[in-house]
Structure 1
Amino acid sequence: MARRGTSDETVPENSWATSAATRKSMLGNRSRDTSPELKLRKLLWAQGLRYRVAAKPLADRRRTVDIVFGPAKVAVEIHGCFWHGCPEHYRPPGSNVEYWSAKVARNRARDAAKLAALEADGWEVVVAWEHEQAEDVALRVAEAVARRRPKRS
């Protein structure tokens, strides 16, 4: 049996959503091509840096990375403050706290495992939060790529 939400739609039984409106809103969140990602990519492209988007830099892992500079082995992750538990801006939601706290904890654990795996394979990882200025992040990324770019003879 489905629960009724605040709209005409229903919420599936055992759903994380407390209402149909919440469910619709959360399902609309993008996992890639977010505003912070697009801003950063535009700045990196303008600097002449070329990259892959939502790529899998580790052959033995399913996990993708937001922006990848393959030859330089630089991976860029842009974390949303809510979804990844930003130490400065995260605040738990007002409803369904137990579910969302566990979800954010799982995301953080997955982030840490991905970071460790990338670093163990020789990658430099630049982690940026959505609240950071895109220009500052672009500078950090460009410096990392320049430092690690293979030298041409």
Structure 2
Amino acid sequence: MSRQASRDTAQEVAVRQLLFRWGLRYRVNAKVPGMPRRTADILFLGPKVAVFLDGCFWHGCPEHATSPKANAEWWRTKLDRNVARDRETTQHLVDTGWTVLRFWEHEAAGEIARTVYARLRPDGPAPLDNP
């Protein structure tokens, strides 16, 4: 598990590069307000938008999640705790007035970036890039 990237994955970098190119500024791997041991992948402080790019295995993707055969009970408990922690974090942010956007690792970076951009700039022009 120590070799598993927890930040700066290829998808995160691609999404951040697009958002930056389109003029949006954000915090990277920032602490979730009110939950010091939790971080959001991308955080927009002013508009209060938190973006999470969840790995299919670690966060229980309904399409791609797998269950390891070895030590299955330990893994099931661990992965279930991850999902519960995600729900708790989302609920905390929503309760404190934040918008939470969650995406899976199998989603295209360009689509994620366009969705985030549309949420932050609903009246603005759509990005011209077509990644």
Q: Give the TM-score normalised by the residue count of structure 2.
A: 0.88
Aligned residue type for 1:42: Q
Q: What does residue 35 of structure 2 align with?
A: 61
2:79 equivalent to 1:104: yes
Unaligned runs of 5+ in 2: 123-131
Structure 1 contact 77–128 (Cα < 8 Å) conserved: yes
2:98 equivalent to 1:123: yes
Between the aligned partners of 2:17 and 2:69, the Cα distance in structure 1 is: 35
Between the aligned partners of 1:73 and 1:143, the Cα distance in structure 2 is: 14
Unaligned runs of 5+ in 1: 1-25, 148-153
Other structure's SS at 1:75 match: strand
Greater radius of gyration (CA): 1
Which residues of 2 match residues 2-151 of structure 1 at below 5 A?
A: 26-58=1-33, 60-62=34-36, 63-147=38-122
Other structure's SS at 1:27 match: coil
Between the aligned partners of 2:70 and 2:32, the Cα distance in structure 1 is: 37
Aligned residue type for 2:53: I
Deviation at 1:47, TM superposition (A): 0.9
Deviation at 1:57, TM superposition (A): 3.7
Structure 1 segments of 4+ aligned residues over 4 angstroms from their partners: none
Higher strand share: 2
Deviations 1:124-151 (A, max 9, x none): 111010000111110110011124xxxx
Seq. identity, %: 47
Paired positions, count: 121
Structure 1 contact 51–68 (Cα < 8 Å) conserved: yes
Aligned residue type for 1:61: M
Aligned residue type for 2:103: A
Q: What RMSD over aligned residues (CA atoms) do the two structures have, in Å?
A: 1.0
Structure 1 contact 73–122 (Cα < 8 Å) conserved: yes
Deviation at 1:43, TM superposition (A): 1.2
Q: Which has the higher contact order (CA 8 A, sep 6+)?
A: 2
Between the aligned partners of 1:64 and 1:91, the Cα distance in structure 2 is: 24
Deviation at 1:94, TM superposition (A): 2.3
Between the aligned partners of 2:28 and 2:116, the Cα distance in structure 1 is: 14
Deviations 1:88-118 (A, max 9, x none): 1001112111111111100000000000000
Q: What does residue 8 of structure 1 align with?
A: none
